[in-house]
Chains A and B, each alone.
Chain A
Amino acid sequence: MGAEILQGLAAVFQLEVLSFLAIGVVLGAMFGALPGLTATMGVAVLTPLTFWLAPESGLAMLLGVYAAAIPAGGIPAILINVPGTPASIATSWDGNALAKKGRAGLALSINAFMSALGQWTSLLFLAVAAFPLAAFALRFGPAEYFGLALFGISLMAGVSGRFVLKGLLAGTLGLALSVVGLDPMTAYPRLTFGVASFLDGISFVPVMIGLFGFAEVLVQVFEGRRGAQSADAKLGDSAPTAEQWKKMLPAAGAGAGVGTLVGAIPAAGGDIGSVIAWEQARRLSRDKDSFGKGSIEGLAAAASSSNAAIGGAMTTMLTLGIPGDAVSAILIGALMIHGIQPGPLLFENRQAFVFTLVFLLALAGLLTLLLGLFAAKPLARILRIPGPWLWAGITLFGTVGAYALNNSVVDVWAMFLAGVAGFWMRRADVPLGPLVLGLILGPMMEANLRRALILSRGDWLSVLGQPIPAFFIVAALLSLIWPLLRRGTAASH
């Protein structure tokens, strides 16, 4: 494995790869720092550009965006109490309180340091846990993959928040869209309506650009956020003292652990992880009352956890081929553009590439840390860019990017229609996350179930009764029923 590690490292230290990584980090910082733009949107809009690049360079840019956007989301959360990305919600609770006390500089540096700590901790988990997990997953046959996909899809309920039924409905829409194209077993054209472009199925990336890019533009137009944000807070002192480090590190370490594990759960991202980590840090703290009022422990736990979700999500995505969060869902599409199929075989056939990804993320974390420490003030200035200019840019680059993938006008329309549908779903409180899960996991679930049934000559019991599929099916049922039960209990109270 030593040779693969060195190969992976050598692939990173090339001028082209490093340049695209740096571009990705700067763009990611902009996407994260501007409220309304997210890491998901940044990765979705930039994915078509990677089509023309070597896999390492393309992935370097996207991973740079991913690694930089989450910490940068903490900048507006701290300065103006508006989270730049959903993962920065918990960062705003204590970060903004510190800024109001004239300690914005300290809050920004804690955000930068703890974000890097969270990312590197989770990358350690990725490097250590991914290979055994992939080796275990190599034993999986069609029945096991069906169980795994079913479990992944069942998590739709868990990520739907208050709207469990509507989340499940969105998931079934994703599953329905995944049916479009040639049947995986018989090559019978399904739901293609005579359009040749649909034979390969609905292009995933344009749909993602529409759902997370154009739909967000429409939401912002609807809400009329037209002015620029102001962030003229005085930064004050910045470096944490030794005593503050001592106080923060246990909370940050626990936050990193929580974030990594939550990130590894399909479809659960840094937003959920950071809230759980913040609450856990509050419970364990001797100074509970300070939480929400400028606690450095609370800020450290939230920042490290939201960023640790990155490594957790990447672990699930790379080892099992199922998305840990919305960004890793799009990264699956980006990898597939380059002919790379995430899953256990990746660890068997392209170990050096896996290490390249780990090193790229680690380096992106370092660049983001430097950017956060030395360029927080200039980054804060981009909050002054008027929203409509950004909306116009997102619409243009989303449209051109969707077209450029396959030179297909159908893809452009798919982006537009997905955007309109995404806007309507957002307005109607229908969560978008389950739709993405359904779209990605639908083909995996259907093809493997049918393969397993062919192998067992139609014997359902021998497919579903095997230990691993049975385990996943029980877990799937529990994850479907639990949110409904919880909602029922809450309603009865």
Chain B
Amino acid sequence: MNRKDLIVGAVFGALAVGLGAAASGFPDPAGRAPGPAFFPYAVAVAMGLLSLGVLFGAVRSQNQEESSGDLKAVLSVCALTAVYLAMWGTGLFALRTAVFLALFLRLVGQSWRAGVSVSAALTAVAVLAFQIGLRVNLE
């Protein structure tokens, strides 16, 4: 059993069910031409059938060895980025960004010294290009 494909089939199968359920709530067409539900419903059916195909293939095939990697670092980067985005619009863009980048660089194995220097440089470029150059309000 191929665990990777099993998860893919299950995730897309769930998405297909969700899409189909949402589409069933759209209004019916007034005439003979299809209405707002037609296309999403057709997509949901196609997605569902393809998910079944992937699931069937996953059950029949052998498990593949997954390539190893640093998943912990990926999760840490995602969590850090999510926190940074959640604080978007709270002011002090330059400070928030510099701290975020320094932590990001530390998480991926850079020294504090390199992290702080690079984060300061990148933040300065972003502020110059977007806030001062293009007048985008990043605060």
Residues of chain A touching chain B, judged by Cβ–Cβ distance below 8 Å, are 49, 52, 165-166, 168-169, 172-173, 175-176, 179, 183, 185-186, 188, 190-191, 214, 217-218, 221-224, 226, 386, 388-389, 391-393, 395-397, 399-400, 403-404, 407, 409, 412-413, 416, 420, 423, 428-430, 442, 445-446, 449-450, 453-454, 457-458
Query: What does the 1/0 interface line of B80-118 toward A look like (CB < 8 Å)?
Result: 011011001100000001000100110011100010001
Given A172-B43, A395-B104, does the pair A226, B85 have CB atoms closer than 8 Å?
no
A165 near B54 with CB under 8 A, answer yes
In the complex, which residues of chain B have a beta carbon less than 8 angstroms from the beta carbon of A49? 129, 134
CB < 8 Å: which of A172, A221, A392, A393 contacts B70? A221
Given A386-B110, A388-B108, A409-B88, does the pair A169, B126 have CB atoms closer than 8 Å?
no
Question: Apart from A397-B126, A428-B5, A457-B33, what 4 extra A-B contacts exist at CB < 8 Å?
Answer: A173-B12, A190-B36, A412-B85, A442-B43
A179 near B40 with CB under 8 A, answer yes
B85 near A392 with CB under 8 A, answer no
Given A168-B50, A224-B70, does the pair A183, B36 have CB atoms closer than 8 Å?
yes
B98 to chain A, nearest CB (A): 10
Between A and B, 15 residue pairs with Cβ closer than 8 Å are A165-B54, A176-B15, A183-B35, A188-B36, A222-B71, A222-B74, A388-B110, A389-B118, A392-B118, A396-B101, A396-B126, A403-B136, A407-B137, A450-B39, A458-B31
Q: How far is the CA of A396 from the CA of B43 in the complex (A)?
A: 35
Q: Which of B11-34 contact A (CB under 8 A)?
A: 12, 15-16, 19, 22, 26-27, 31-34
B57 to chain A, nearest CB (A): 7
Q: How far is the CA of A222 from the CA of B66 in the complex (A)?
A: 13
Q: How far is the CA of A430 from the CA of B7 in the complex (A)?
A: 12
| Majority secondary structure, B binding face | helix
Q: How far is the CA of A27 from the CA of B96 in the complex (A)?
A: 27
Residues of chain B touching chain A, judged by Cβ–Cβ distance below 8 Å, are 4-5, 7-8, 12, 15-16, 19, 22, 26-27, 31-36, 38-40, 43-44, 46-47, 50-51, 53-54, 57, 69-71, 73-74, 77-78, 81-82, 84-85, 88-89, 97, 101, 104-105, 108-110, 114, 118-119, 122-123, 126, 129-130, 134, 136-138
A172 near B50 with CB under 8 A, answer yes
CB-nearest residue of chain A relative to B45? A172
In the complex, which residues of chain A have a beta carbon less than 8 angstroms from the beta carbon of B134? 49, 52, 404
A450 near B38 with CB under 8 A, answer yes
Q: How far is the CA of A284 from the CA of B74 in the complex (A)?
A: 47
